[in-house]
Structure 1
Amino acid sequence: MKCKEKTSVLLTVLIFLLITGVNLFSSERPEAAAGRVFSVNVLIKDKQEQKTVKYNTEKSVCKAGAFFYSLALPGAGQLYAGNKKSAKIFIAAETVLWATYFTFRAYGSQKRNDYMAYAAAHAGVNNQDKDHKYYVAVENYSSLRDYNNAKLKQRNINALYPENEQYWWQWDSEESRKTFESLRVSSDKAFDRAVIVIGGIVVNHLISAIDGLREARKKEMIGVSVLPQGGAVVSFVKIF
């Protein structure tokens, strides 16, 4: 039963007790692992036949535990606090986010392999030990010689590549170069989106941790026990 529903039940019991002359006889602060606890006990006088009554009673939870459980694994803190519905939402979000991340990574890797193979076939590129910067140059210039000439005009000597078989390229057509550009850009976009998804995963962890803490704070314990001399005690415990 949710905390709001439990509170409504308790208020109904208290109003009923006040109307029928039931005595509110004690308040105390029992020990609880979750920190400060407020407890109210209500004595119900009943001369009728004693019956065993069992109501929903829940364990107190540690607020720090709920926070760090969800920070490590979204939904874990909600499960710890007893809110399965909220836990399912965060777990589902985490699953979808990681699946999306790996999908983008796989697509980016596939496109990278495609543009490397395409550059080798249509521009004579040697793909061994080449970095991202090199492929950007291959994309923007028809040949290594055109690239080096452009850098010399810019007086950017440090950007020059040796004109040998290791770094040589020359496109067989402008259309091929454009196709390579499309493949490389698709790969980069996929990897960039994977990074964005990682940001979403971090946010999901933080939101889940905060929600887990909130669930632990509003945790309530309500219980009913039968007294040996007749009557019953209704206990309400609020953790805050």
Structure 2
Amino acid sequence: MIKKVLIAIWIMGLACQYACADELIAEDSAPINARMKLAIAELNHSGQDENPPNLGISLDKTGDKSIAKAALFSLILPGSGEYYLGHKTRAKVFFGAEAVTWGTYATYKKVADWRREDLDVFTNTHADIDVSDREDEFLQILKRYPRSENLPNLSGSYNEGVRRDARYYYPGLDDAEAREQYEQENYLTGDNSFTWDTRANWIEYRVLLHSYRDADQKAFYLTGVAFLTRLISVIDTIWLGKKYKKMRLSENMELELGGNPLKHHASLILKVKY
């Protein structure tokens, strides 16, 4: 009779312990009802076996974070994957790098646009030609040649170079027709003709062209920097994610000892939160 009373008191103590300890309930991976049923089941079987040890493993998924999701975040915006994993300082570094990269890119693109406008005005004024819709190849022609066609006592024109190339490609007497066709297809005439008014302005054009191309190329290189920043952030995020999972596994392993003290019935539970 006394033994049954002690058992009843022990069960009531367990119930009070689970009802009052809210923090223990939040951390425990098994519900209260399940634990109570487990305790009653152990007591019911205690009479059949005096020392029935029980070894169990309990897994609780709490706070798990996806490495793939973090990597995707970093690919979209460098630093967001680090922020997702809780590394806010590292995230701020990548955020800052991204802001500087695109801010500098916008600056160089704007400078390139200004330089191109300067080129348009300059060539209209000093070479009598509109280059607003011209490709880079044509801009290079204006850089290399002072005029499209020879003038009296002035040689070195672009069309002179075309005739020279035609004679090189079609040197024979029977190639006269092909040579003439090549010349007509490659001559710069009409709206494509140009003549620099002074040598000084021709040289100044080269400076403006270099300034324009330099700003435009730097803007292009910065897109590569943005891609590289994303690659570094993705690699960093994957490394941090693996480190995070190892840390979660090591920090959230604990052993819990329980059982029936009257029957020497012990249970050992390995709890892993991941």
The residue that corresponds to 1:205 in the other structure is 230
Kept in 2: contact 1:126–1:168 (CA 8 A): no
Q: What is the number of residues matched between the two proteins?
A: 183
TM-score (norm 2): 0.60
Q: Counterparts of 1:188 and 1:128 in 2: how far apart (Å)?
A: 15
What amino acid sits opposite 1:160 in the alignment?
N
Deviations 1:63-119 (A, max 9, x none): 111111111110111111001001001111111111111111111111111111101
Which runs of structure 2 are paired with 1:129-168 in the superposition (5 Å)? 129-145=133-149, 146-155=157-166, 157=182, 160-164=186-190, 166-168=191-193
2:59 aligned counterpart, secondary structure: coil
Q: Decide which structure has greater helix share.
A: 2
Which runs of structure 2 are paired with 1:165-176 in the superposition (5 Å)? 166-176=191-201
Deviations 1:44-65 (A, max 9, x none): xxxxxxxxxxxxxx72211111
Q: Counterparts of 1:92 and 1:161 in 2: how far apart (Å)?
A: 52
Q: Counterparts of 2:64 and 2:55 in 1: how far apart (Å)?
A: 21
The correspondence for 1:108, drawn from 112, 116, 121, is: 112
Do residues 60 (structure 1) and 64 (structure 2) align? yes
Shift of 1:29: 6.4
Runs (4+) off by over 3 Å: 25-29, 156-159, 220-225, 233-237
1:30 aligned counterpart, secondary structure: strand
The residue that corresponds to 1:16 in the other structure is none
Q: 1:26 to 1:84 in 2, by over 3 A?
A: farther
Kept in 1: contact 2:60–2:271 (CA 8 A): no
1:96 aligned counterpart, secondary structure: helix
The residue that corresponds to 1:36 in the other structure is none
**Structure 1 unaligned regions, length at least 5:** 1-24, 33-57
TM-score (norm 1): 0.67
The residue that corresponds to 2:101 in the other structure is 97
Q: Counterparts of 1:29 and 1:138 in 2: how far apart (Å)?
A: 78
1:144 aligned counterpart, secondary structure: coil
The correspondence for 2:130, drawn from 99, 123, 126, is: 126
Shift of 1:134: 1.2
The residue that corresponds to 2:59 in the other structure is 30
Shift of 1:131: 1.8
The residue that corresponds to 1:188 in the other structure is 213
**Structure 2 unaligned regions, length at least 5:** 1-53, 150-156, 170-181, 259-268
Q: 1:70 to 1:28 in 2, by over 3 A?
A: farther
Shift of 1:27: 7.9
Deviations 1:9-46 (A, max 9, x none): xxxxxxxxxxxxxxxx97846254xxxxxxxxxxxxxx
What amino acid sits opposite 1:202 in the alignment?
F
What amino acid sits opposite 1:151 in the alignment?
V
Which runs of structure 2 are paired with 1:13-28 in the superposition (5 Å)? 28=57
Q: 1:144 to 1:26 in 2, by over 3 A?
A: farther
1:68 aligned counterpart, secondary structure: helix
Q: Counterparts of 1:59 and 1:143 in 2: how far apart (Å)?
A: 72
Deviations 1:111-134 (A, max 9, x none): 111111101001101235422211
Counting aligned pairs with the same residue, the percent is 23
Shift of 1:176: 0.1
